[in-house]
Amino acid sequence: MAFRVKVSFCLILFLSFSSFFFVQGVFNYRDALEKSIMFFEGQRSGKLPPNQRISWRGNSGLSDGSLAKVDLTGGYYDAGDNIKFNFPMAYTTTMISWNTIEYGKRMGPQLQNARAAIRWATDYFLKCANAAPNKLFVGVGDPNADHKCWERPEDMDTVRSVYYVSPSNPGSDVAGEMAAALAAASLVFRSVDPVYSKKLLGNAVKVFRFAVQYRGTYSDSLGSAACPFYCSYSGYKDELYWGAAWLLRATNDISYLNFINTLGANDVPDLFSWDNKYAGAHVLMARRSVVGNDNRFDSFRQHAEDFICKILPNSPYSSTQYTKGGLIYKLPEDNLQYVTSITSLLTTYAKYMASKKRTINCGNLLVTEKTIRSLAKRQVDYILGNNPMKMSYMVGYGTNYPRRVHHRGSSLPSLARHPQSFGCDGGFQPFYYTANANPNILVGAIVGGPNPNDFFRDERADYSHSEPATYINAAFVGPLAYFGSSKR
């Protein structure tokens, strides 16, 4: 897991309709969808189920929570490390859930796998929310100790420190995001497992109440356990907004709208990520204006459309930079996380617009849902191989994909091949520093992506470009389902 530090970057603007880099490719979106969801099985912590498809992974973290005398087994490792950070994990869960709500009917046989991926996280969040009174557990594993090691999750011998927020050490951001995840997931399970859905929603309400009552950033409360890894750079107001928006969607309780209106959160950023939720909340809330014709939500629709005008390359309000190959380029570390998250919002808003044949204006530019859909498809196709490198940035998709992924489990021989433990630093030589390909294919993993010149080195040590992460994949599930379906 790389440090997630915000850095400004100057790039050459992309000419939006250049055909040179966008030779029409034929991609199997359904195959990519299957792989993108399978990736989460490679990130599982805890006791693995009999139907585990990524077979080189084994049980891990079976004593998680024991230092606090609670059970915190389960959940996901966020990226190429062996830490469980609830802040990005909850965002991941919210995004898979949202994409499943929007596109579940287009997922075909992958719908069941998407639900399983969501449930693996929500079962863990239920433990985190109920393990001890007045404590919300938000992480397991000392990130500073873990990053000194290169070992399989099955071999972990670093301290499994337990982190929580409480009334005296608040974390409105992580609590707000966990509430969003539980609320969104409750909608996924509402018709197929109503008892579980009700449990998720009840806990979402409880966790959100905690977030509102005890306000503060978890970065301040946890210090070096959160920063510089997943600092809450944008503060906690966006997570309160996001959590309330999801609770409104799940409960239809208008008090959540009233709460949002008290926040004064009118920021319209030009990105969307595990840290900054404003754009996602605006699109989510805009649905009631665009699809539901509810004028109480018109301001959110305007914010959502202002966001889109900041993304479109030929918009007079565009503040988004593109590589020469046509890829959205926001930040130099793990740029594809921003690409997939933004693309998810583009396809979802295009879907809303299509349902009402709505158009929008960015200054004197008329924007249709086809305009937005076209840009989203360009990003999807770029990731799958329609790029200057002719490389798929999804591991296991196509024939030319990253082979030296920055990921401990993938880069080390499996337990079946090497039953003996490697120990904390046993994996560096010869496995981390070798130029050989990883022995285990982390199917479906999307890496951080190319540099601003559309170049990818495929080096394990280049973590800002070669490390996969759950939140990159989570946002990509929806666009793949969208373009993999004949329905628009």
Please say if 306 is a catalytic residue.
Answer: no
Low-confidence ranges of the chain (pLDDT < 50): 2-24
**Tokens representing residue 160 in the block:** 């499994």
Q: Please name which of 121, 118, 35, 10 lies closest in space to residue 72, comparing C-alpha atoms.
A: 121
For 52, half-sphere exposure in the C-beta direction (CA atoms, 13 angstrom radius) is: 18
Q: Which pLDDT score, from 0 to 100, does residue 391 have?
A: 98
Please say if 467 is a catalytic residue.
Answer: yes
Cα–Cα distances (Å) from 162 to 75, 85, 130, 140, in that order, read: 14, 11, 15, 5
Q: Which pLDDT score, from 0 to 100, does residue 190 have?
A: 98
Which H, E and C letters describe the chain, residue by residue? CCCCCCCCCCCCCCCCCCCCCCCCCCCCHHHHHHHHHHHHHHCECECCCCCCCCCCCCCECCCCCHHHCCCCCCCECCCCCCCEEHHHHHHHHHHHHHHHHHHHHHCCCHHHHHHHHHHHHHHHHHHHHHCCCCCEEEEECCHHHHCCCCCCHHHCCCCCCEEEECCCCCCHHHHHHHHHHHHHHHHHHCCCCHHHHHHHHHHHHHHHHHHHHCCCCHHHHHHHHCCCCCCCCCCCHHHHHHHHHHHHHHHCCCHHHHHHHHHCCCCCCCCCCCCCCHHHHHHHHHHHHHCCCCHHHHHHHHHHHHHHHHHCCCCCCCCCEECCCCCEECCCCCHHHHHHHHHHHHHHHHHHHHHHCCCEEECCEEECHHHHHHHHHHHHHHHHCCCCCCCCCECCCCCCCCCCCCCHHHHCCCCCCCCCCCCCCCCHHHHHCCCCCCCCCCCCCECCCCCCCCCCCCCCCCHHHHCCCHHHHHHHHHHHHHHCCCCC
pLDDT digits (tens, 9 = 90+) for 199-229: 999 999 999 999 999 999 999 999 999 999 9
Q: Which pLDDT score, from 0 to 100, does residue 25 have?
A: 53
What residue type is 307 in one-letter code? F
Q: Give the span between the Cα atoms of 124 and 70, in whole angstroms.
A: 12
Q: Give the span between the Cα atoms of 264 and 219, in whole angstroms.
A: 22
Q: Which pLDDT score, from 0 to 100, does residue 124 have?
A: 98
Q: Which pLDDT score, from 0 to 100, does residue 88 have?
A: 98
Q: Give the span between the Cα atoms of 334 and 326, in whole angstroms.
A: 17
Burial of 335 (0-12, 13-18, 19+ CB in 10 A): buried
Question: Which residue of the set 282, 406, 407, 465 is catalytic?
Answer: 406
- Residues 6+ positions from 423 with CB-CB distance below 8 Å: 151, 155, 157
Q: Which pLDDT score, from 0 to 100, does residue 90 have?
A: 98
Contact 360, 283 (CB under 8 A): no
| Predicted model pTM | 0.94
**Tokens representing residue 277 in the block:** 């939720």
> Own/partner pairs for 303-306, CB < 8 Å, 24+ apart?
303/266, 303/268, 303/278, 304/279, 304/345, 304/349, 305/360, 305/362, 306/268
pLDDT digits (tens, 9 = 90+) for 12-48: 333 333 332 333 458 999 999 999 999 999 999 999 9
Crossing angle of helices 470-483 and 335-356, in 10° steps, is 30
Please say if 239 is a catalytic residue.
Answer: no
Give 162's strand partners: 140
Q: Which pLDDT score, from 0 to 100, does residue 266 have?
A: 75
